[in-house]
With several copies, the nearest count.
Chain A
């Protein structure tokens, strides 16, 4: 699946987008998997209460299942307007 990062999540991880092969069943499992990879991921995901997640461009919860999902995005709370 495609994993996208925005705002300071993107800056901490250092890339806007990557392709991830995973067997994670939920967003939370994917976060745990990425966090184990490298420090920059662990730093970005240190406090998930400060993060939001979208699955296929719809806001979702961290315990949402990933089956069938093609695009996951992580970002901080929105500040538009």
Chain B
């Protein structure tokens, strides 16, 4: 299991390749990547991501361990950035490896659902018209009901 909370950019391709190389005993690999949307309006200048150092790593580790308990998984990778991000930059990624695709998919969705609502990150969008904290969406909280 690798949990990385970092300010620097990460290379999705390099991470996916390295994750896959470490999991050749598992037939199925799923990755999810979140990208700062380059909105059609072209309005977004910067996204700032604040987090709670210490708790963030604990929360992500706990979520990943829970995924490993619930599904038959090879490895789990979680990378999440903080700081200032520009449109088009990658915010975060998760990767799961499993003998069967259903496990790899479900575990990745579980990681995302919990990461969204239970890991201490907060997004702020800075646009021409000002700065605004992104509001939590009910559907993200409701997504936890599935598990």
Contacts and interface: CB of A to CB of B under 8 A. Distances in A.
Interface of A: 4, 6-8, 10, 54, 57-59, 73, 75-81
B133 to A, nearest CB: 5
B122 interface: yes
- Chain B's interface size range is 20 to 34
Interface string B104-147: 00000000100111111111100000000111100011000000
Contact of A78 (B54, B92, B120): B120
20 contacts: A4-B52, A54-B55, A54-B120, A57-B52, A73-B55, A75-B120, A75-B122, A78-B117, A78-B120, A78-B122, A79-B121, A79-B122, A79-B133, A80-B115, A80-B119, A80-B123, A81-B34, A81-B112, A81-B116, A81-B140
A57 B57 CA distance: 10
Given A78-B136, A79-B136, A73 B116 contact: no
Contacts, number: 71
A19 to B, nearest CB: 17
B91 interface: yes
Contact of A77 (B34, B115, B136): B136
Contacts of A6: 50, 52, 120, 122
B133 A76 contact: yes
